[in-house]
Amino acid sequence: MPDRPDATPRSAPDEAIRLRPGLEALPAYVAGKPAAQDGTLRYKISSNESPFPPLATVRDAVVDSLEGVHRYPDAAAYALREALGLEHGVDPSQIALSTGSVAVSGDLVRALVADGDEVVYAWRSFEAYPIVVGSHGGVAVPVPLTETFEHDLEAMAAAITERTRLVILCTPNNPTGPSLSTEQVEDFLARVPEHVVVAIDEAYREFHDPATVLGTTGIFRRHGNVVLLRTFSKLQGLAGLRIGYAVAHPRLARALGQVTVPFGASVPAQAAALASLDEGVREELGRRAEWIRSERSRVLAALGAQGWSLPVSQGNFVYFPLGAESAEFVAFAEERGLVLRGYGADGVRATIAEQEASDLLIEIARQWRER
């Protein structure tokens, strides 16, 4: 018989283990709060998830892949990397896969950053950046956003030192929404030493106005120190399967392969990602992206008419820079059936989701202003 503990609660033994120095100061990732299950209709717009269910082609690919989950996934993910290589005009070996673009960010830090080396990024930006940097012994160098909640590229360039190994640009910026232009990024890269890697995190690229979206293909081809980060979690709606990737130049791509967790991209995740690249699926995803952009414009226009002054967002979310009132606004919304994502004393993010959720957000924002 297996050795099973009985159900009687017992006190835990004393622990004498030695944790890594600095873990106490490391922030913990705070996921979007789930909606309470109390019988009240609530909308969870706290995690930038897709409001759309998986497309039938993608769902069928996942179901079919389950026949093979008793086997390890293809560690090379050859079929997917080949398709992504064609997508980006690079050799498949230049595609580095992992469990979401946040995991690829961690791989970048492991490949580039030794103890005491620095990573520069804007702040507030993606919450995982200081975690992946600090947990691998790096020194985080957060550079405050501008008054319009954009990257302060001048200050970020000035923050680069002899110890800087990586700079992260998040565009559109999560959670505030503004994006960077091709000209801005090119001007910034001209001030970055060629040995410093610049990661362009475009998790929300598909929601950007196509007419002005960052020209990352050209940027990547012109600069040997640029790496692109992408995810299947947002528009493709594969957040629960966890898969993302980097497009890197050969030497860095090899290094990412050395440090990543083996078999990180699961069998169902690879199948779903590959199916998402099907032409018919891409067409429908394009229509979904256009709907999100249209709904975002509607929400921002309605909030503007109420007197709100919000950052111009190119993501699938809007940001309320409420400062010290942020937690109060989050609680105010939750009492009325809407779960938002608060960021300490900085602001509150609301995902563009179902139209009903957007309508409720607009109404709650009106009530807040009329208190």
pLDDT tens digit string along 252-262? 999 999 999 99
- Taking only the tens place, the pLDDT of each residue in 59-118 is 999 999 999 999 999 999 999 999 999 999 999 999 999 998 999 999 999 999 999 999
3-state secondary structure of 23: helix
- pLDDT-based confidence at residue 8 (cuts at 50, 70, 90): low
To the nearest whole percent, how much of the chain has pLDDT over 70?
95
More confident residue, 180 or 16: 180
What is the rounded distance in angstroms from the CA atom of residue 230 to the CA atom of residue 88?
11
pTM as predicted: 0.93
Q: Burial code of 18-57, b = ≥16 C-beta within 10 A, e = fewer?
A: eeeeeeeeeeeeeebeebeeeeeebbbbbbbbbbbebbee
List the Cα angle 140/145/148 in 5-degree steps: 170
- pLDDT-based confidence at residue 48 (cuts at 50, 70, 90): very high
Q: Minimal CA–CA distance to 231: which of 261, 214, 208, 206?
A: 206
Residue 2 has pLDDT above 80, yes or no: no
CATH fold label, 56-278: Aspartate Aminotransferase; domain 2 (3.40.640)
Mean pLDDT, residues 21-45 taken together: 74
- Name residues whose C-beta falls within 8 Å of residue 303's C-beta, 6 or more positions apart in sequence: 310, 318, 362, 365
CA dihedral 54, 58, 62, 63 (to 10 degrees): 90
Domain borders along the chain are 29-48+281-369, 56-278
Q: What does the pLDDT read at residue 38?
A: 63
Residue 1 has pLDDT above 70, yes or no: no
Q: Is the dihedral of CA 153, 312, 180, 129 positive or negative?
A: positive
What is the rounded distance in angstroms from the CA atom of residue 292 to the CA atom of residue 202?
17
- Taking only the tens place, the pLDDT of each residue in 203-240 is 999 999 999 999 999 999 999 999 999 999 999 999 99
CATH fold label, 29-48+281-369: Aspartate Aminotransferase, domain 1 (3.90.1150)
Q: What does the pLDDT read at residue 295?
A: 98
Residue 281 half-sphere exposure toward CB, CA atoms < 13 A: 19
- pLDDT-based confidence at residue 17 (cuts at 50, 70, 90): confident
Q: Minimal CA–CA distance to 106: which of 201, 232, 224?
A: 201
More confident residue, 20 or 16: 16
Q: What does the pLDDT read at residue 291?
A: 98
- pLDDT-based confidence at residue 177 (cuts at 50, 70, 90): very high
Residue 35 has pLDDT above 90, yes or no: no
Q: What does the pLDDT read at residue 12?
A: 77
- Taking only the tens place, the pLDDT of each residue in 356-367 is 999 999 999 999
Average pLDDT score over the chain: 94
